[in-house]
Amino acid sequence: MNTLTLIRPDDWHLHLRDGELLATVLPATARRFARAIVMPNLKPPVRTTAEALAYRERILAALPAGMSFEPLMTLYLTDQTQPDEIRRAHDSGQVHAVKYYPAGATTHSDAGLTDPARAAPVFEAMQRLGMPLLIHGEVTDPAVDIFDREAVFIERHLIPLMHDFPSLRIVLEHITTRDAVQFVRESPDTLAATITAHHLLYNRNAMFRGGLRPHFYCLPVLKREAHRSALIEAATSGSPKFFLGTDSAPHPRQDKQSACGCAGIYSAPAAIELYAEAFDTANALHRLEGFASRFGADFYRLPHNRDTLTLERVAMRVPETDPADERLPVPLRAGETVSWRIADGNAVE
């Protein structure tokens, strides 16, 4: 198979940022994906329906003429979020989910939940309305090794949450471990998971190859090879519980190449191509359409896209950004190649 035509894919986990950076990164996603679930971890976070609708307008205003793209908005859950806000979000028709960051777990998560018990009335309302809860599933307990934070979160927080709210619909975001794969597989259909391209393609060695490589640092951090191969198995299994979410998370170069570099891998400029490469290597290209274009929409109870995207097995070079401009984000594989490209040859902006 040298070409592959898919129902146009969607990205079920994306960071678009705001202002200049939003305008820089949005075209890469809109070129590939029809829709994306847009993360609310701005500074300050997107906490209310009004803020989500205003952010949505800024995204649409940043879209270059002639491109179409539908941002699917989310709210950022804080200790102060009220069930009324969930009702307003649901009624808006534009807010599709609520994001649960444990306070301090990752970039711009300091306003996150300090104790999930406080959010019980919110979870109750979401369960009633069928609104998905998107979870950054890592404990913040400094006594827990960073490579174990996802597995410990499942035991300490996710299992009790699912017990207390058995029909709450949950996406465990950007899973990175064999433990998470197994847990999602064995759970009821109320639980699904997104998987990034970088966690399918790289293990933790990538962060240390010949030196410290900040552009491979993200949260949850890359794990060892046995976990990567469990993720490949899950993504290519045909199970509708696993679907595409890039977690493309751009930061200005100066914030990555620093003594305390930010977490986040900017994969949008080659996102679907990287997934095609991962599925191709696993001899599972026939499973890419379900993972990229159908299972996520089904979970979110949205229609499949009507148009298509054709990929071809031709190496594409991911452009480097101007090394003199410290504000630009550096894409994954910048200056290197990906083995698939979008068929009309315009894969790279």
Residues that bind Zn ion (CB under 5 A): 247
The pattern of x and - marking residues 271 through 300 that bind ligand DOR according to CB under 6 A reads ------------------------------
Query: DSSP 3-state assignment of 118?
Result: helix
Query: DSSP 3-state assignment of 226?
Result: helix
Alpha-carbon gap, residue 225 to 58, rounded angstroms: 40
Q: How many CB atoms lie within 10 A of CB 2?
A: 8
Alpha-carbon gap, residue 42 to 52, rounded angstroms: 11
On whether the CB atoms of residues 234 and 181 are closer than 8 A, the answer is yes
Alpha-carbon gap, residue 272 to 244, rounded angstroms: 9
Q: Binding to ligand DOR by residue 24, rule CB under 6 A?
A: no
- For Zn ion, the closer of residues 11 and 247 by Cβ is 247
- For ligand DOR, the closer of residues 15 and 341 by Cβ is 15
Question: Exposed e or buried b for every residue in 323-349, given b needs 16+ CB within 10 A?
Answer: eeeeebbbbbbbeeebebbbeeeebbe
Q: Which stretch binds ligand DOR (CB under 6 A): 52-60, 102-110, 177-185, 299-307?
A: 102-110
On whether the CB atoms of residues 177 and 223 are closer than 8 A, the answer is yes
The site partner of 198 among ligand DOR, Zn ion, none (C-beta below 5 to 8 Å per kind) is none
Closest distance to ligand DOR from the beta carbon of 217 (Å): 7
Task: Name which position in 136, 199, 227, 341 contacts ligand DOR (CB under 6 A).
Answer: 136
- For Zn ion, the closer of residues 24 and 194 by Cβ is 194
Closest distance to ligand DOR from the beta carbon of 220 (Å): 7
Burial class (CB in 10 A: 0-12, 13-18, 19+), 164: middle
Q: Binding to ligand DOR by residue 106, rule CB under 6 A?
A: yes
Q: Binding to ligand DOR by residue 132, rule CB under 6 A?
A: no
Given 164, 247, 298, 307, the catalytic residue? 247
The pattern of x and - marking residues 246 through 275 that bind ligand DOR according to CB under 6 A reads ---x-------------xx-----------
- For ligand DOR, the closer of residues 69 and 101 by Cβ is 101
Is 247 a known active-site residue? Answer: yes
Q: Binding to ligand DOR by residue 223, rule CB under 6 A?
A: no
On whether the CB atoms of residues 173 and 153 are closer than 8 A, the answer is no
On whether the CB atoms of residues 321 and 249 are closer than 8 A, the answer is no
The set of residues, in sequence order, having a beta carbon less than 8 Å from that of 194 and lying 6+ positions away, is 12, 13, 171, 172, 173, 174, 175, 242, 243, 244, 245, 247, 296
Q: Which stretch binds ligand DOR (CB under 6 A): 104-112, 148-156, 227-235, 270-278?
A: 104-112
Residues forming the active site: 247
Binding residues for ligand DOR, rule: CB under 6 A, are 15, 41, 106-108, 136, 218-219, 249, 263-264
